[in-house]
Structure 1
Amino acid sequence: MLDTAALKDLLAHPKKIVITTHHKPDGDAMGSSLGLYNYLIQQGHHTTVITPTDYPDFLSWMPGNPEVIIYNEKTEQADVLIEDADIVFCLDFNNLSRINEMGEKVRKSKSYKIMIDHHLEPEDFDDFRHWDINACAAAQLVYSFIVDVLDNKKLINKDVATCLYTGIMTDSGSFRLPNTTSAVHRVVADLIDAGAVNYRIHELVYNSASENRLRFLGHCLLNCLEVLPEFNTAIIVVSKQDLEKYHVNTGDTEGVVNYALSMASIRLAAFIVERKDQVKLSLRSKGDFPANEICKLYFSGGGHRNAAGGQSTASLQDVVNQFKTILPEYKKLLIQ
């Protein structure tokens, strides 16, 4: 394992660096990755962000985005970069399975692996770990990595600040989730002072929906929403046919589950969607209800207490039925 002094020495001279994050990256994944990218290139490091898969168009405006390589589109080029890297930064994930077939490439690479993450139960594959489950976002940890670990706050310029602000904003639910502490707001204030234009970032992320996306959202709320009042739970179930009908693109389903959770009586919301080769679940909860426990125990997933995900190879209806049969086990927590 590297200690802080050894890490600083390693980064003291230009290195070949790869930054990667989890598949289907969200705002925090891309914000933290591009924030770190824009920091490292100022020091002359040869840095590349490689994502396992594509990501939403509403994140494509961030500084550095044109240089991102999508692994399943440019696999050979990405493999060479990973194999030749001196350092691989792993952001917003702590298990190599989260980067799909890239995982074994990273594991076999002779590079130093640096994990920056806030999820539970990290896999032991890294050489340096900046990890805190109480952080609201990986982007918050990238900020503290630059400022507290590397003692280099002066290099948080407008591009770095813009990306990190995006990550914190999206993963904190626009600063409304319980882990949005006073410390988070102080970080955000620093990022705004460094050049992040908060209102413009919000507009680019949240006010850029397509007509198809809005019609899909309306369909979800009108036709796919089921409320289970005896469990204070709401479910939105979407089939492959729904996705095709509304020409749903990457990112169009993001945040739909939060509409189900927005009802006053609901403590647990599930968005269950049928994909090409599996069924994906996104769970959101209020208070201390452990959404991550359900995903971990029953749906090969995990996450945070109030925001978690999972998957299953069973049929869509079987997954819905399984989810409903689990609810009685948690009734006391759901109705308290």
Structure 2
Amino acid sequence: MLFEEKRISKLREILSDYSKFAVVVHSHPDGDALGSGIAMTHYLSGKGKSAILIIPDSVPETLAFLTEGEAFVDAAKFPAKATACLKECDVLFALDMNGFHRADKLEQVLTDCTARHKVLIDHHLNPELSSFDLVFSEIQISSACELLFWLLMELEGSAEALPEKTRYGLMTGMTTDTNNFANSVYPSTFEMATMLLAAGVDRDDIIANLYQEYRENRVRALAALLKDNLKILPCGAAYMVATNAFLQAYELNQGETEGLVNIPLEIKEVKISLFLKQEKDHFRVSIRSKRGWSANVLAKKYFNGGGHELAAGGKLYYPQDIPLPEDVYNYIQTSVAQFLQKDTQR
């Protein structure tokens, strides 16, 4: 992957001239956010820098293996510490977010941060260029982890030169964001994987941690969702809604519904799949689609969100978007049917 030499030179200069770094990722962190965050902090530490990872809220239990034994700040639990770290840093790296709004309650603190440099490394649409003085943004790439990998290759030349935990984090984040190489995969993605495997990354351990360590509750909840909750509309859309009552009945933890949205796409007639999870005053919406149908456009138009062409997310608020939580079903059926009936969305 080719990067503008001027930007690479500036990155080298920043890494050389400063000693205190903060790394922040988006709220409700997924594997790509945590993987890139861990990878970057270990890379910086390996260069003798002071580096701290700041996460806007708690790490999902399903991804806790990534942060086990790591020094990081949960900003939701320790807001004063997170603020202090951001005030003290010389350089702020923002990973896997296109702007500070993706950090939710941490947005204002990040905006007010007086770091000498703010650097964005991200693969989403519409980066907030005005918030950063150095931006590496690329949408034709699998993940923030892959983008970071190729930046580090520009700096170091080989995967073997990277710290072990940097390599592990990068492979993990790329694996989760591609749904284990099922979508958003490019030739460069396979090249990255090959280089990391050759450098000694234990992919079997990553796969075991990601996909073979679920609690029984999660598997039984999945069975119930598919049997009793999955709805398939004549227009070719599928959706599942996990209400508070359902989540409590199966005692599901944060992160345990991750990936469920992909399953209905296995059905031939399904063009687009939605998974909605109820939270305090809204439903968190995950959208996945097959080629020819834009998850990103659907998320933008109907769910206050956005993302990638085949993978996007958003939120549906009540009472702003729907009067009551139970109105979510009619809203989905109406909005998705309208969306799929318009050939302009193909």
Shorter-chain TM-score above 0.5: yes
CA pair 84-276 structure 1, distance change in 2 beyond 3 A: same
Give the aligned partner of residue 330 of structure 1. 340
Is the CA contact 2:297–2:345 (under 8 Å) kept in the aligned structure 1? Answer: no
> Unaligned 5+ residue runs, structure 2?
1-5, 319-323
Could you tell me how far apart the structure 2 residues matched to 1:335 and 1:265 are?
17
Q: Report the Cα offset of residue 333 of structure 1.
A: 4.8
CA pair 103-63 structure 1, distance change in 2 beyond 3 A: closer
Q: Which moved more, 1:24-33 or 1:150-159?
A: 150-159
Q: 1:302 aligns with which of 294, 303, 306?
A: 306
CA pair 281-334 structure 1, distance change in 2 beyond 3 A: farther
Is the CA contact 1:268–1:334 (under 8 Å) kept in the aligned structure 2? Answer: no
Q: Report the Cα offset of residue 321 of structure 1.
A: 1.7
Give the aligned partner of residue 219 of structure 1. 224
Give the aligned partner of residue 180 of structure 2. 174
Q: What is the alpha-carbon root mean square deviation over aligned residues?
A: 1.9
Q: 1:264 aligns with which of 245, 262, 268?
A: 268
SS at match of 2:277: strand
Give the aligned partner of residue 137 of structure 2. 131
Q: Which moved more, 1:90-99 or 1:53-62?
A: 53-62
Amino acid at match of 1:31: G
Amino acid at match of 2:29: P
Could you tell me how far apart the structure 2 residues matched to 1:163 and 1:211 are?
26
Q: Report the Cα offset of residue 66 of structure 1.
A: 2.4
SS at match of 2:70: helix
Written as runs of structure 1 = structure 2, the 5 A alignment for 1:83-232 is 83-111=87-115, 112-124=117-129, 125-148=131-154, 150-153=155-158, 155-177=161-183, 179-228=184-233, 230-232=234-236
Is the CA contact 2:62–2:256 (under 8 Å) kept in the aligned structure 1? Answer: no
> Unaligned 5+ residue runs, structure 1?
none
Is the CA contact 1:161–1:192 (under 8 Å) kept in the aligned structure 2? Answer: no
- Per-residue CA deviation, residues 228-274 of structure 1 (Å, 9 max, x unaligned), is 1x211111011100111111101111011111222122111111121
- Per-residue CA deviation, residues 6-47 of structure 1 (Å, 9 max, x unaligned), is 331221145111111111101111111111111111001110
Is the CA contact 1:234–1:266 (under 8 Å) kept in the aligned structure 2? Answer: yes
Q: Report the Cα offset of residue 310 of structure 1.
A: 0.8
Could you tell me how far apart the structure 2 residues matched to 1:173 and 1:43 are?
32
SS at match of 1:60: helix
Q: Report the Cα offset of residue 158 of structure 1.
A: 2.1
How high is the TM-score relative to the length of structure 1? 0.94
Q: Report the Cα offset of residue 107 of structure 1.
A: 1.1
- Per-residue CA deviation, residues 84-137 of structure 1 (Å, 9 max, x unaligned), is 111111111112111012111111111111111010011121111111001110
Q: Report the Cα offset of residue 152 of structure 1.
A: 5.0
Give the aligned partner of residue 235 of structure 1. 239
Is the CA contact 1:14–1:43 (under 8 Å) kept in the aligned structure 2? Answer: no
SS at match of 1:89: strand
Among the aligned pairs, what percent are the same residue?
28
Q: Report the Cα offset of residue 288 of structure 1.
A: 2.3
SS at match of 1:61: helix
Q: Report the Cα offset of residue 185 of structure 1.
A: 0.5
Give the aligned partner of residue 288 of structure 2. 284
Is the CA contact 1:117–1:131 (under 8 Å) kept in the aligned structure 2? Answer: yes
Is the CA contact 2:21–2:91 (under 8 Å) kept in the aligned structure 1? Answer: yes
How high is the TM-score relative to the length of structure 2? 0.91
Is the CA contact 1:20–1:90 (under 8 Å) kept in the aligned structure 2? Answer: yes
